[in-house]
Structure 1
Amino acid sequence: MSMALDAYEGASDEALLVLYGNGDPVAAQLLTHRLAPRELGFATRLLGGDRAEAEDVVQEAMLRLWKQAESWRSGEAQVSTWLYRVVSNLCTDRLRKRRTVGLDVAGDPEDDRPSAVDSMMDVDRASALQDALNRLPDRQRVAVTLRHIEGATNPEIAKIMDISVEAVESLTARGKRALAKDLAGRRKELGYDET
C-alpha cells in the first residue's frame, strides 16, 4: 500500500468518507478497498452467485455513497451499515426485475391444482391418518399432532404439555412407531409404493 494510504490506515470509515467529501481522493480509495470486497461477496450471495451483476450493484452502491459524502451526517448511521442496506435494496430490485416477465412472454398459466383422483387420495390419506391418530393414547396423539402436523418444536411442546423435552421426544417417537405399524397394511390402498 502506498505511503499516502498508510497515513489513513487507522481512520474510521466515517472519517474517510468525510475526508473524501472534502475532496480527498486517497480517502475514497482506501474506503473502497475496505468496503467493496465485503459488499461484493454479500451481493454475489444475494444474487445467487452472479458475480458480474454483483459487481454492477456494488459499483452503483459506491457511487451512491460518494454522492452522499459531502452531506454525510456524522453519527446517524455507520457507513458500512448504510452501504449494506443500499446493496441489499439494489439486489432486491434486480431480483424482482428477473422475476417480472411480460404477459406476451409468459403464456398461459398452468393449472397446478391436483387432479380429482389425487384429491380423493388426499382425502383418504387424511382420513386414515386421523383414524390412526385417534387410536393413539392421548398424550402421544397430542405430542405427534403438535410436532408433525402443527409444526411446533420440542421445547414448545414441552411447555404446552408441561413435560420435559425428553418426554416429548419419547412420546413422539412412540407415537410415530405406533402410527407406522397401524398404517403399514394400508400403504398400497393409500397409494404409497411398497418400496
Structure 2
Amino acid sequence: MRWRRRWKSEDRTGTRSCPRTAFNFHNTFCMLINMGNIDRGCKRTISREEKVWQNELKDLIWLELQARCSGRTLAQQDMYLCSERKLVPALINNIMEYQFVNTNPCQSESKLHFMGHHDDLIDEDKCAAEDQNAGCLEFDCQQCSEAIGAAMRDVYSLLEAFNNAVALYPSSKAMMADHPQIATKAFDNRVKVGI
C-alpha cells in the first residue's frame, strides 16, 4: 500500500513531484556547495600590496619564532641574523672554489685514473693534476684512506656550514634573493654532488 502511494505522486511526464520545502532545500544546498567550489566560481585575486604585506607578516612571524626558540629578544635575533648573513658570501665562495689538496699523496705504482668528464673543470692542466693525486687501486692503502677521510670531513664541514646558512633565512627564495649565485646550475651541482 505504501509503495502505491509513493508512485501515485508522479505527474504526467513520469517524474515525481517534490514537496516545495524539499525543492527549496535542494536549491539552497546546491547554492552553498557552489559557493565553496573555487574552481567553478570566480577566484579572488590577491593584490600586490596584500602579497607584500603577507610576506612581511610571514617573515615577522618567522623572526619572532626564531627569537623565541633561541632565547633572544626580537632586536637581538635580528642583529644576530644580520651579522651571520654577512658571512654567507664568503661561504658560497668557499663552496664554489673548494678543491681537495692531498698533502700526503700516495706513492703506489698502481694509480687510479679518472675516466669520465668534468663539467666544472675545463682546463686540461687541472685534469692532469687531479690524475696525479687521484689515489691508487690498493684496497688497504693507508695514505689513500686518510686522504679520503680528510676530503670527506672537509666536504661535510662545508655542507654543514651551508645548511646553517640556509637556516638564517625564512625560505630558500629569500636566500636566493639575497645571494643569486646559489640559484645557478654550477652551485647547485656542487652542492648536490657533495662539492
Asked whether the two chains share a fold, i.e. TM above 0.5, the reply is no
Please identify which structure carries the higher helix content. 1
TM-score, with structure 2 as normaliser: 0.19
Q: Which has the larger radius of gyration?
A: 2
Pick 1 or 2: higher relative contact order, CA cutoff 8 A, min separation 6. Answer: 2
